[in-house]
Structure 1
Amino acid sequence: MLINIFHDTICPWCRIGKKHFFDALSQWQQETVNIHWHPFLLDDSLPISGYEFRSFMQERKGIQPEAIQNLFNETRRIGAASGVTLNFDRITLAVNTKLSHKLIALAPKNIKNQVVEAIYQAYFEDGLNIGDVDVLVDIGKTYHMDARDLRNQLINHNFFDGIVAESTFTRLKEINSVPFFIINNKVQVKGSGSVELFLQALNRAVLVEAKI
């Protein structure tokens, strides 16, 4: 079964949706799944060095400090209920995510899902700058990717064009928010959903396939 997942690595709802989906997969286990990760850059205008996180989020949302804290608290609560840690107090930078998506693209297929989770963990739990080459090389090394080769590929800016192009193409397909899941090119799930919702979607995809 083919699963296409559209996400951004600084999106807390993408991390929650990923957790729900993989929890559903662990219960489902009807057939082998082939997962493809696709970049959806929420804000490609961000510099690699990033912006101060809270002030950027306040300006982006157009709300005051107390309101942004309430938003963080509610999102953190929903994440915790799903088994996901979101340490907004540790995040200092809103960063451009092209490099992190590049690491995902470079990761071998057998470790790609783990690398995606490691990037989410680095940002949302450890407060690390996932737009920084050193941070991403350290993640890659954890999964036995060659550090020198990985660094050379990450700093090769030609690869950025492909990440931006794919994100742009995604928007042209009328996917305008993430997370977004497409199962077997037939069943779509928009948003972070729930374990139950994803189980229903997986079963529906099997039924649709059987009718073809």
Structure 2
Amino acid sequence: MKVDIFFDTICPWCRIGKNHLIQAIETWKGDKVDVRFRAFLLDASVPTEGRDYSLVIDQFGGKARVDTMFAQVCKIGEVCGLNFHFDRIKKMPNTMLSHRLIKLAPKERKSAVIELISKAYFEDGLDIGRMDTLLEIADRAELNQAEMKKQLLSQEGIAEIHEDVTLAQKVGIRSIPYFIINDRYSLQNPQSADSFLEAFERIKEKQFS
């Protein structure tokens, strides 16, 4: 079974959705699940150096409204064992470089790299648009830091990200996280691991019906 997850590294719901997926896979007793992480750029207009987070808060309707949204994320995150400290975030980063690090990581390390990026941003308030931040994450993920730097300074990974973005546009994806199972069945913003398990079971039944 294949699952494509369209996500962005600054999307808190994507972190929660990925957590639900991993929990479901660990519980699932059926066929092996192959996960492909697809890049989705929530705001490609963010400059390379990032954007002041106060401007982002204004863009989303002001502090009161955003605080309500953040409180909801924190509440659900707590249930999942995920921490979010939005008060530590000072900058909205351009996420292209973080997606490139994920693309360059070996398949077996991608999930760990994504979680380390999420932790750096949502818990530590670090700027995940910076090369030095991402190289530190690469080191924690036991990747060759020098090799990762060399590749990030090149054009490697960019074409793959553009392919993901084009695919998302073709499918008509407007919000994330968005999951596509076996290239046919879509699941948007699942509420729990059970959402995946139910979908897996339905697909399994269709395969053998």
Range into which the TM-score falls when normalised by the shorter chain: over 0.9
Q: Which residue of 1 aligns with 2:182?
A: 184
Q: d(CA) in 2 for partners of 1:87 and 1:80?
A: 11
Structure 2 residue 26 is matched with structure 1 residue 22: no
Q: Given the superposition, is the C-alpha separation of residues 12 and 192 from structure 1 closer, same or farther in structure 2, using an over 3 Å criterion?
A: farther
Indicate how the Cα distance of structure 1 residues 121 and 186 shifts in structure 2: closer, same or farther if over 3 A, else same. Answer: same
Tell me if the contact between 2:95 and 2:129 (Cα under 8 Å) persists in the aligned partners.
yes
Bigger mean CA offset, 99-108 vs 23-32: 23-32
1:53 matched to 2:53: yes
State whether residues 133 and 155 of structure 1, in contact with CA within 8 Å, keep that contact through their aligned partners in structure 2.
no
Q: Which residue of 1 aligns with 2:33?
A: 33
- State how far apart, in whole Å, the 1-side matches of 2:127 and 2:190 are: 24
Question: How many Å separate the matches in 2 of 1:79 and 1:54?
Answer: 23
- TM-score calculated relative to the size of structure 1: 0.92
Identity of aligned residues (%): 36
- TM-fit CA distance, 1:9: 0.6
Q: Which amino acid aligns with 1:210?
A: F
Q: Which runs of 5+ in 2 are unaligned?
A: none
CA distance in 2, matches of 1:186, 1:204: 13
Equivalent pair of 2:190/2:196 in contact (CA under 8 Å): no
Q: How many residues are paired up? A: 209
2:104·2:157 contact (CA, 8 Å) conserved in 1?
no
Counterpart Cα distance in 2 of 1:8 and 1:146: 24
**Shift in Å, 1:188:** 1.5
Q: Which moved more, 1:106-115 or 1:190-199?
A: 190-199
| AA in 2 matched with 1:122 | A
5+ long unaligned stretches in structure 1? none
1:127 — aligned with what? Answer: 125
Check whether the contact 2:100–2:156 (CA below 8 A) recurs between aligned residues.
no
Name which of structure 1's ranges 163-172 and 16-25 shifts more when overlaid on structure 2. 163-172
**Of 147, 150, 157, the match for 2:148:** 150
- 1:209 and 2:207 aligned: yes
**Contact 1:58 1:65 (C-alpha < 8 Å) held by counterparts:** yes
Deviation at 1:86, TM superposition (A): 1.2
TM-aligned CA deviation for residue 88 of structure 1: 0.4
Offset of residue 201 of structure 1: 0.8
Aligned to 2:136: 138
What does residue range 164-183 of structure 1 map to in structure 2 within 5 Å?
A: 164-183=162-181
Contact 2:103 2:157 in 1 (8 A): no
The ranges of structure 1 where at least 4 consecutive aligned residues each deviate by more than 4 angstroms after the TM superposition are none
AA aligned to 1:145 is: L
- Contact map agreement 2:4 2:181 (CA 8 A) in 1: yes
User: How far apart, in 2, do the equivalents of 1:48 and 1:55 lie?
Assistant: 16
The answer to whether the Cα contact below 8 Å between 1:14 and 1:192 also exists between their aligned partners in 2 is no
Alpha carbons of structure 1 residues 90 and 192: separation in structure 2 relative to 1, 3 Å: farther
CA contact (8 A) 2:96 2:129 kept: yes
Q: Would the alpha carbon gap of residues 156 and 208 (structure 1) be closer, same or farther in structure 2, given more than 3 Å must change?
A: same
- Following superposition, the deviation at residue 11 of structure 1 comes to 0.3
- Distance in 2 separating the partners of 1:156 and 1:32: 34
Task: Write out per-residue CA displacement over residues 53-109 of structure 1, whole angstroms, 9 at most, x where no aligned residue.
Answer: 1331322x2x12222222212221122122221110111111111111101100001
How many angstroms apart in 2 are the aligned matches of 1:158 and 1:32?
Answer: 29
CA distance in 2, matches of 1:105, 1:38: 9
